[in-house]
Amino acid sequence: MTAAATAGIRFHHGSLVVPAGAIHTTPLGYDRDGVPIGAPLPLAASAELVHRLSGCGEIVVAFEGKLGDTLLALSGVRAVLDWLRLRSVRVAVRAMGPYTGLLARSGLITQPQATTPNGQRAVIGDRAGVEARGSTAAVSLVLDPAAPPCWSTDGRAHPDLPARHYLAVERRLGIRLPATAPFAPTFATGPNNLVEELRSVGWLGDLNIAAITATSWPERKDYTAQRYITLAEHIAEAHQAQARLLLIGGNPGDGLRITAEAPRRHVQVLRLDGMPADHLAGLFPHCHLVVGNDTGLTHLAAMAQGRDGSSPPVIGLYARHSHSKWRTGLPHHHSVATDLSDRMHQGDLCPVRDAIAPDTNIHMDAFPPTALAPVCLELLSGVRP
């Protein structure tokens, strides 16, 4: 469902299926629903890639870049592992780099083997990770967010990056792989000291909201703590309840910092800065709603699952970039986007890559809290399909 939120911005539901003819796409080259799992595709596989991967006994997952790019590229790792399983090729899978602890929650990483794996090694990751780890590898696979197009098949478009990566790898390997949309892997919740500590002091109660203040581009993507607080006040007033707002920031440069602000009439505020991503993966499923800009922690919130497999609704705010490409594709990961973001979505464009300057200076003030509050309230009450 796509619905107007206010003048100039629109709400896009995470379960919306985009017709192939509605946006600019590249045909996948086959009707995917008509090809049995494990069957050869009607396209030539990359013979060299197939040959080299078939001889590997170890897969190294190596990402060194931004968290968001890493999370949205993990479907490419999933595709390679699905292919190896279909061919009954047994490999050890390990992660290297700054996201090792987080990736251990993804289900993609196997336990380290006590002995050296048989065969050669493959490295899969971003360009920086492959350059750092791939000099002695038999084959390397770079998962570049700018590379895969928006594919279309069976009458639908696949605009989100996890779908783009997974289908791009499937085409190169030449076999119909088992996954269907959504293609993004998820992160399991495990024991979490942060959750227990917050619960012990009265947090994680009846109306708990997480807001992402972290961003690699603050001059363009910082929604600001005050706007989030105002949004939480509107939600709390509508619910006639006290809201607990977790303001989750990035690394402030001086390590972990947790600070509580003076209570307001309707909202209690706790700031979490510098919290490791793997800790936050265990925290997000305990929230009732997550709101954030287009950044890695917002994607992580969508990919984190509770013990029962559930996740809270997540809303991403998209002022300039495509709201469909830079999303996980998971049905509870929604977006509120400007007209510019809609045009980037429709044309499969990027304002940075394609050097597209907006007609006006569009920033996060395009999303007033008064306009976001009704969307949040409908999702919290389960009204929006």
> Residue-wise pLDDT tens for the chain (385 aa)?
455 455 589 999 999 999 999 999 999 999 999 999 999 999 999 999 999 999 999 999 999 999 999 999 999 999 999 999 999 998 999 999 999 989 999 999 986 554 556 679 999 999 999 999 878 899 999 999 999 999 999 999 999 999 999 999 999 999 999 999 999 999 988 778 889 988 888 888 889 999 999 876 666 778 999 999 999 999 999 999 999 999 999 766 667 888 888 888 899 999 999 898 989 999 999 999 999 999 999 999 999 999 888 999 999 999 999 999 999 999 999 999 999 999 999 999 998 888 888 777 677 889 999 999 999 999 999 865 4
Burial class (CB in 10 A: 0-12, 13-18, 19+), 122: buried
Question: pTM score, two decimals?
Answer: 0.94
SS3 content of the chain, % helix, strand, coil (to 5): 35, 20, 45
Give the helix ranges, DSSP H, for the chain.
47-54, 67-86, 100-103, 127-133, 161-173, 193-200, 218-221, 225-239, 277-283, 296-303, 339-347, 369-380
CA distances from 78 to 38, 105, 184 (A): 15, 14, 8
Q: Which tokens belong to 374?
A: 């009704």
Question: For residues 119 and 134, is the Cβ–Cβ distance under 8 A?
Answer: no
Q: How far is CA 367 from the centre of its chain?
A: 21
Asked if residues 213 and 301 have their Cβ atoms less than 8 Å apart, the reply is no
pLDDT at 385: 44
Query: What's the CA gap between 215 and 250, in Å, rounded?
Result: 7
CATH superfamily of 2-15+188-380: Glycogen Phosphorylase B; (3.40.50.2000)
Cα(160)–Cα(374) distance, integer angstroms? 26
**pLDDT at position 116:** 55
Lookup: tokens for 62: 């190596």
pLDDT at 100: 93
| Burial class of residue 161 (count of CB atoms within 10 Å of its CB; 0-12, 13-18, 19+) | buried
Residues of the chain with CATH 3.40.50.2000: 2-15+188-380
CB 307 within 8 A of CB 189: yes
The CB density around residue 383, as the number of other CB atoms within 10 Å, is 9
195 Cβ contact partners less than 8 Å away, ≥ 6 residues apart = 204, 282, 283, 286
